[in-house]
Structure 1
Amino acid sequence: MTISSLDAVTIEKDRFFLPTSQLNADGKFTNAKPVAELSWSRILGFMNRALFEKKVNTVPSKTIPIEKLSQHQVNQLPEDKTSVIRLGHSTILIKINNQLWLLDPVFSERASPFRFMGPKRFHPTPIEISELPSITGVILSHNHYDHMDEFSIKKLKEKVSKFVVPVGNGAQLNSWGVNQDKIFELDWWQSVNVNGVQIVATPSQHFSGRGLGDRDKALWSSWVIRDENTNLFFSGDTGYFDGFKTIGEKYGPFDLTMMETGAYDEQWPDVHMAPEETIQAHKDLRGRKMLPIHNGTFDLAFHEWTDPFEQMVDLSNREWIDLMTPKMGQVITLEDDDSVDKARDLHWWR
């Protein structure tokens, strides 16, 4: 999209931090720190584990408590404060500067290219897409099925004014019927300003692909979301890398970091963070409060589904991290001490 066609929106490039994503000779994006290639041996190794390794407590045995949301409740969120609502996995609804933004919306029953197989939700979404009011924008971190969901995008496209995505992801949205004028593709260190809310694409260490032939053809990203009063960080999916320190130096401190903590495994340590690494990344970012995400909704790894929560509570107590573990659908209004306090150490997963 060209700048001349924007209404109350500007696209900017940080003159001190030039875009650092790179296309190699094969037309693929690369990380600043190389990660292991997805070889056939690794794929076969994972398939062998998935078929024959016994999983223990990777799926809840009881109903997960959630807080149902209505359109009226969303409309009544404070206009002059910032509210954050975790809807499941990495899907988050934010109200900032009196604008509604959706992060990585996945409302499907499964995180999969198929409707009949693949990881199934542990819990219903606290609010249906049909109940959502108009949304200022959707922010996508990358194109994996548990973050970029065709069903959700097609249902949301008429409610949403803008889709902010990493470079290379616009064509997929366009093929799902999203109007090209709504799509903003950003490289790392580029930003878009929407009526006082600045959205900055920042580096992450991950990969992309929705099939066997499109590995790394589209970029992945973490995001800074801020206005005059509030500064938020959304990690998307990422391994630990020194880019967190750079982001923290440039854009921190953050009032809240929403950090990936789940689906980690010794077989893929460079593209997902272990809990200790999530804590360190939060420190690097100079975060004040932390919300662990990428857990509690889908069975995507071999660890127990409660493990991310238990480890983060233990680590945050030892490291003096202000951790929030709200129920899905619970409203956190950052400027409201009572609201924030209710989201701390709930242990709802027990």
Structure 2
Amino acid sequence: MPSAQRGEDGLYRNPADPSDRPTQGTWAIWSRLLFETQDGAEPRDAIPVHRIGRTELDALDPAANHIIRLGHSSHLLKLRGTYWLIDPVFSERASPVQWAGPKRFHAPPLSLDELPPIDGLVLSHDHYDHLDEATIAYLRERVQRYFVPLGLRARLQAMGVDPQRVSELDWWQGASHAGVQLTAAPAHHFSGRTLWDRNSTLWASWLIQSGEERLYFSGDSGYFQGFKTIGERAGRIDIALLENGAYDSYWPSVHLSPEETIQAFKDLGAQQLYLVHNSTFNLGFHHWRDPMERVADIAERESLPLATPVIGEVLTVGRPRQNVRWWKDLR
């Protein structure tokens, strides 16, 4: 798997992949977004949220690795006593403005001012549902170190972050901080925050190693052969946080369908599958329960180790837990 491909125009591109399928044109996609009804794309009932506070966080075993689901792709990690954030979005909307755009289905399980001091913050790419300016502005003096793909240092600097605190990585480059090893890995996606800066920054997935355990976070990605390469190079992945939501036939190579999420998990050779990128924002046309239900059905048939945690739930890597379909009776 080559590193990121950057053309003479300075824009990043996905390397050619036999799994790639064409995306519909911009006009077709916007016409659908503006005029097509999205039946069932938003829940009518309240999404369950487990409120979590500092007392519960501080009581978590400092010798273990813990994942706390904040919603969508946002997670708080406690890695052998150190606190990390992945793609934190605490704003009401995943949008450049807070008066329009996709609105949260639920509140975060804790507020920004309830967060512990953060040792490291990891970003996968610059889309609004992964890089939230208001969240970064609040955290900018409260995070020791930021780990981002190429081009995002300037994004963070514009949001008030000291650029000397930012480690900017190409695919397969690594860094370490507070006893945690990080490697930026390939993903099959795109970037941009306006109509004029598409693909001017890189997108990435991440391998995160704490002690003997290794986590994989896919960021946003369509299915591609790179999942096999990542699994081979990683050697062992204890848990894979794989995106599963906002997929559509109009953009088949941008996000993973449920069946592709299962295949990516198998390609990675991971020990446990953990679903992300659903149940918080309406970013597609499928029913809001569809991503989890379809993956859960396959996992049940094939006896695959699946985690679909409730918002705010703590998952301790490598320890037994009982998975439940918490969405089953919700409308």
Q: Which residues in structure 2 correspond to 1:231-310 (within 5 Å)?
A: 231-310=214-293
Asked if structure 1 preserves the Cα contact closer than 8 Å seen for 2:310 and 2:326, the reply is: no
Determine the C-alpha separation between the residues in 1 that align with 2:84 and 2:186: 20
Q: Unaligned 5+ residue runs, structure 1?
A: 1-16
Q: Secondary structure at the match of 1:292?
A: strand
Instruction: For 1:346, give the aligned amino acid.
Output: R
AA partner of residue 325 (structure 2): L
**Corresponding residue SS for 1:287:** coil
How far 1:28 sits from its partner (Å)? 0.3
Distance 1:235 1:276 in 2: 15
Q: What one-letter code is carried by the residue in structure 1 that aligns with 2:260?
A: E
Are 2:155 and 1:178 equivalent residues in the alignment?
no
Map Cα deviations across residues 220-279 of structure 1 (whole Å, 9 max, x no partner). 000000123211000000000011101100103211100000000001011111111110
> Hey, what does 2:324 align to over in structure 1?
345
How far has the Cα of 1:36 moved from its partner?
7.3
Match of 2:28 in 1: 45
2:106: which partner in 1? 123
SS in 2 for 1:193: strand
Q: 1:222 aligns to what?
A: 205
The residue type equivalent to 1:158 in the other structure is: E
The match for 1:14 is none
Are the counterparts in 2 of residues 313 and 345 from structure 1 also a CA contact under 8 Å? no
Offset at 1:334?
2.0
* Deviations 1:101-126 (CA, angstroms, capped at 9, x unpaired): 10000000000001100000000000
Cα displacement (A) at 1:23: 1.2
Between the aligned partners of 2:316 and 2:294, the Cα distance in structure 1 is 25
Contact 1:33 1:205 in 2 (8 A): no
Give the Cα separation in 2 of the matches to 1:199 and 1:139.
9
Distance 1:84 1:118 in 2: 28
**Distance in 2 separating the partners of 1:202 and 1:335:** 23
Match of 2:188 among 169, 182, 205: 205
Question: For the residues of structure 2 that align with 1:50 and 1:29, how far apart are their CA atoms?
Answer: 26
Q: Which of 65, 69, 74 pairs up with 2:48?
A: 65
Distance in structure 2 (CA, Å) of the matches to 1:94 and 1:252? 22
TM-score in terms of structure 1 length: 0.90
2 CA distance for matches of 1:26 and 1:117? Answer: 32
Could you list the per-position Cα deviations for residues 204-231 of structure 1 after superposition, in whole angstroms to 9, with x for gaps in the alignment? 0000000011111000000000123211
Measured in 2, the distance between the counterparts of 1:36 and 1:26 equals 24
How does the TM-score come out when normalised to structure 2? 0.95
* Secondary structure at the counterpart of residue 254 of structure 1: coil
- Counterpart residue identity of residue 348, structure 1: W
Unaligned runs of 5+ in 2: none
Alpha-carbon RMSD across the aligned residues, in angstroms, is: 1.5
Q: Contact 1:88–1:296 (CA<8 Å) still a contact in 2? A: yes
Of 89-98 and 297-306, deviating more is: 89-98
